[in-house]
Structure 1
Amino acid sequence: MTAASLGGRELTARQIELADAALTIIARDGMAALSFRSVAAEAGCSLGAVQKAFPRKERMLAAAFARLREQSVALPPDAPGRPTLRSWLVSLILNILPLDEHRRSAQRQCEAFAHGAASDSTIRAAVSESDAQLRGLLASLVLRAREEREIPAHIDPEATAWAVLALTQGVATQLSYDTLPTNELRMRLDGAVAALLAAPAADADTAPHN
């Protein structure tokens, strides 16, 4: 979405090169084939150069996932959250969803990270860091819209950011087996986003419990 960063700092040219090499390996050979040595071979550099750029594998995975998101998401043409947060979020989600081969390939790579995260704490930390950064951006836009009285004052920025990301990931999964015409998909997303930005939070005494 924005320039890929690691720990709040933009990646260096060398880190970008190596992160892209890591993504190539993941797309071609799977997550299990990824190592400092395989990245060095793919990038045509020394093992020491990879270890200097990324002292820990977790850092390399985080950079690769950040680059994946940067490359696979085309931001809407308007400034973030403009002309309205609702319309911008709908456009953003549509840009993320796997509606062409490029984005379907990115979705498969994201799924590889998600699958690996279930059993590998290093991958889990990389994905979690990227998600936290994305939720932070979305939360800041929700907060601004609330302060500008575009949306009701009761809307919680962090909870809404979490819900938008969950909505996006859920729809992306559904589209792998149940496709929809783009116009219908846009209409459904608009309704879902409108509900997130206007519905009052559930009362603690009346919310369903498991």
Structure 2
Amino acid sequence: MPRLIDHDERDRVIGDAAMRVLARDGLGALSVRKVAEEAGLATASLRRAFPTQLALRRYCVDRIHDAVAARVTTLTGEGLPLAIALLLELLPLDATRRDELLAQLQLGSLALTDATLTDSVRDLHDGVASICSVALGQLPLREDVDSAFETLRLQALLDGFALHLLWAAPTDAEGSARRLLEHHLSTLV
């Protein structure tokens, strides 16, 4: 009798392995063989799920998007505490978010020269902008505040601070992030 395969679980295992390979070894190591080895699967099994390297790369980008979306949809509250919580989810404050950011940076840089990834990476970028917009929507912004501009500025602030957290790794990363965000947002209300 053939063994039943839980395709969603297999894809999750492959996705986890691919993210670990990207974060630890870089884009050059994101091969079918390396990911299959990391996932503890036969190469043929991985090829059935992701027949091309492009399919695996797209899956990784979409997985980051879906993971962030899943985390932010579980957040509750309102006002400044919810705005801060939403924005903190976009920063590399734990191993999972750090790996996501490392993978996003590598796949995003590849998308600059590989048009087949451009739409997936753009969707990820737009998702960050959407979260920034939702966070700002939680605040009683001053009347003179241009929401579209401030969304763009907030996203730029987060992008820069995310890189800072990757390279500087302060001992109190979440506290630093919270203080930075609270200060920035306080200038808008």
Please indicate, yes or no, whether the TM-score normalized by the shorter chain is above 0.5: yes
Aligned to 1:98: 92
Paired letter, 1:171: F
* Residues in 1 aligned to 2:28 and 2:141: alpha-carbon distance in whole angstroms: 45
CA 1:145–1:18: 2 relative to 1, 3 Å: same
Say whether the 8 Å CA contact 1:58–1:125 is kept in structure 2.
no
- Give the number of the structure with larger relative contact order, counting CA–CA contacts within 8 Å between residues 6 or more apart: 2
Alignment of 1:16-35 (within 5 A): 16-35=12-31
Alignment of 1:168-179 (within 5 A): 168-175=158-165, 176-177=167-168, 179=170
Say whether the 8 Å CA contact 1:62–1:130 is kept in structure 2.
no
Per-residue deviation, 1:170: 0.7
Normalised TM-score (structure 2) = 0.64
Paired letter, 1:177: A
Normalised TM-score (structure 1) = 0.60
Which is richer in helix? Answer: 2
Q: Kindly provide the CA deviation profile for residues 113-138 of structure 1, in whole angstroms up to 9, marking residues without a partner as x.
A: 34434444444443222222343354
Q: Tell whether 2:158 aligns with 1:135.
A: no
> Which of 63, 78, 82 is the matching residue for 1:83?
78
Per-residue deviation, 1:35: 3.0
Per-residue deviation, 1:104: 4.2
Say whether the 8 Å CA contact 2:83–2:136 is kept in structure 1.
no
Q: Secondary structure of 2:168's match?
A: coil
Unmatched runs of 5 consecutive residues or more in structure 2: 1-6
Unmatched runs of 5 consecutive residues or more in structure 1: 1-10, 199-210
Say whether the 8 Å CA contact 1:98–1:172 is kept in structure 2.
yes
Paired letter, 2:184: A
Paired letter, 1:94: L
Deviates more, 1:49-58 or 1:127-136: 49-58
Alignment of 1:171-190 (within 5 A): 171-175=161-165, 176-177=167-168, 179=170, 181=172, 183=175, 185-190=177-182
Say whether the 8 Å CA contact 1:25–1:39 is kept in structure 2.
yes
* Residues in 2 aligned to 1:42 and 1:17: alpha-carbon distance in whole angstroms: 9
Say whether the 8 Å CA contact 1:36–1:50 is kept in structure 2.
yes
Over the aligned positions, Cα root-mean-square deviation in angstroms equals: 3.9
Task: Give percent identity, aligned residues only.
Answer: 24
Say whether the 8 Å CA contact 1:117–1:127 is kept in structure 2.
yes
Say whether the 8 Å CA contact 1:136–1:158 is kept in structure 2.
no
